Structure 1
């Protein structure tokens, strides 16, 4: 199904109609059931409309033949570009998806202010997604909810134009994902490079994160489970935090387990190099960990080099007593530059001295 109807279908290629074409409603849909290859031409999607390809069949290839820009003039909350279906092969062919976020940026992001699209790219597929540039997002860049194995690679997300007023401009928001690999990507933004909120077998490797809040697991809320995460060979440059796990205060029935950090490099972290806390709220940390969410088996392997500014804290761990358990071998963590940290609540850390 396809929900942006101001298109002219030519087989399985889709071109924008002429400027004088009759307007169409967002609800109008056209079926792609017979298409194995879908090619999307360069165009500007009208303000207030999504480009959404849904119910795609296994084996479908979707490719961009030009840059996609989303029009402005309407403050609204719909996601901009959606792929939903089975095992899909997406190739952006190096083209750009432009959310024109400057029209929406007000310093509040999705926490308030004017209505703005939450996600610029929504992925509910398995298969592969590669070779595209995403710029100037109104809110978050990617929502990823893959039902089975998905590899995201060679994606550049550049939100540097939002340095002053962009907010909540997360790179990859991951939830309800299984067997997800994100590799070889570049993120320049003002919030989390990746936020893993729920999922199993997630690999984040060989990526570059600049200017945001760092690589994060969480925020973990009631009912969410993260199990099996490998974060390796990434570069985290001039972020607020380097490597982070955060669970919401006063939540329960949730867990984070089996997390491996391997051969990552963090430079210029301004608040914390490594931070693992169980007191998170939307307004920041409360200072008091609460029970109900467990964190088990967190290790640093290889050489993780974490350097902070002199005013930052190199490591902060705040757990509710008994809720951080298992094996926490941190012999692969080397920190420098900032203030010595603390381990409050008894996380069983070995191989690293605070």
Structure 2
């Protein structure tokens, strides 16, 4: 196996029982100094609490939102450039459902055409306290059902930040992505509980638990996620990432990608470990996805380990897809330019949903060695009984490991 460097590697090396009971305080002395300061306490004003929250956070070392206090946030919050701050969230931060305001004023990110309610950045910041961030998502879920071009705000964006810890926070009703880490380094999420579930017939779509982009040393551990898209997604240029000890329900899996979407861009995902994951009622389990076709980008996925996955009612428990959202004809004519190397799928067990009938794992690679050193070990996945024995499919890849026999000979033609 490989070694991941720095913070992510340190946490990955800790036994899972330790992860459940403790987490590192990597803000060190600076954080200890902050804790001696008296907090500035915020209460609901009856109006827009956004401006006073931003002002207080800029002035005070520690900001406390006490229990049974709900701050109503009606205007976007820019809290970047901070240093040595504590946000002790014991109550609730709730963003108003004023769709017109947020569409016109949300912080815009060109990557995948996103907007955000709140951007939090700087150095040595801790958000904790057992409270809740509420995105009032139901109005967005219903509106998106009739307008799929609608821009919907990200619940919390960590932007240009170093040494940020988010611990013991509940995140509910996110209109779209829940957490976006953009240009961050040394970011820890520990004990974050996410719920993005519609109460109407219109599903909560694109509610990724975490999206990581242009960031290094990000750790996501000990969390419960109930949502309608990726549980965790590594977007371009994500390095030294850990996503472990997670319960994911209703999601699209723990995903690397999608990569290679944009022409002229070279995407990198390197050094990623995801272990001790329970995946239920999901579209995918462990997934690597890359675009093919004319006019797409290129890149590399290298040194990725998925291990100890327990899956229940999952459409595609284990998948590599180098033709993501690309027709078979276009993929054959213009194979993916994202190379996938040194990948390990170890200790997978559980059941598929039967959505792919007997198929429980698929390694669909582009030709000419674009997938290499793909290892599978101790795989015991089964479909529903009506589909008989499990089927493992693959193409254009040499599979190694003690479970390689399940896939057969698929170096060129596939099985």
* Bin for the TM-score computed over the shorter chain: 0.7 to 0.9
Q: 2:290 aligns with which of 240, 247, 261?
A: 247
Map residues 101-112 of structure 1 onto 2, 5 A cutoff: 101-106=137-142, 108=144, 112=148
User: Match of 1:203, SS?
Assistant: strand
Aligned to 1:74: 99
In structure 2, the CA distance between the partners of 1:109 and 1:85, relative to structure 1 (3 Å rule), is: farther
| 1:152-193 CA distance string (max 9 Å, x none) | 010000112357421111110111121111000111011111
Equivalent residues of 1:291, 1:323 under 8 A apart: no
Q: 1:309 aligns with which of 323, 342, 353?
A: 353
In structure 2, the CA distance between the partners of 1:130 and 1:109, relative to structure 1 (3 Å rule), is: farther
Q: What is the TM-score when the length of structure 1 is the normalising length?
A: 0.85
Equivalent residues of 1:317, 1:347 under 8 A apart: no
Give distance in 1, aligned partners of 2:369 and 2:122.
38
User: Match of 2:168, SS?
Assistant: strand
Aligned to 2:81: 55
In structure 2, the CA distance between the partners of 1:278 and 1:108, relative to structure 1 (3 Å rule), is: farther
Map residues 283-302 of structure 1 onto 2, 5 A cutoff: 285-287=326-328, 288=331, 290-301=335-346
User: Match of 1:168, SS?
Assistant: coil
In structure 2, the CA distance between the partners of 1:34 and 1:160, relative to structure 1 (3 Å rule), is: closer
Equivalent residues of 2:312, 2:351 under 8 A apart: yes
Q: 1:218 aligns with which of 257, 263, 268?
A: 257
Aligned to 2:324: 280
Q: 2:375 aligns with which of 326, 329, 347?
A: 329
Aligned to 1:235: 278
In structure 2, the CA distance between the partners of 1:245 and 1:228, relative to structure 1 (3 Å rule), is: same
Give distance in 2, aligned partners of 1:132 and 1:245.
28
* 1:174 and 2:212 correspond: yes
User: Match of 1:263, SS?
Assistant: strand
User: Match of 1:100, SS?
Assistant: coil
Aligned to 1:122: 157
* 1:186 and 2:186 correspond: no
Give distance in 2, aligned partners of 1:151 and 1:110.
36
In structure 2, the CA distance between the partners of 1:300 and 1:134, relative to structure 1 (3 Å rule), is: same
In structure 2, the CA distance between the partners of 1:336 and 1:262, relative to structure 1 (3 Å rule), is: same
| 1:2-56 CA distance string (max 9 Å, x none) | xxxxxxxx9844444344xxx8998x97485553222345334344x22332111
Equivalent residues of 2:372, 2:397 under 8 A apart: no
Q: What is the TM-score when the length of structure 2 is the normalising length?
A: 0.73
Higher helix proportion (structure 1 or 2): 2
Unmatched 5+ stretches in structure 2: 1-37, 107-115, 385-389, 408-415
Give distance in 1, aligned partners of 2:215 and 2:297.
20
Aligned to 2:396: 345
User: Match of 1:343, SS?
Assistant: strand
| 1:281-340 CA distance string (max 9 Å, x none) | 3xxx52336131100011123x22142023422111111113434422212322211651
Give the CA deviation at 1:116: 2.5
Give distance in 1, aligned partners of 2:352 and 2:93.
38
Give distance in 1, aligned partners of 2:301 and 2:146.
26
Equivalent residues of 2:50, 2:76 under 8 A apart: no
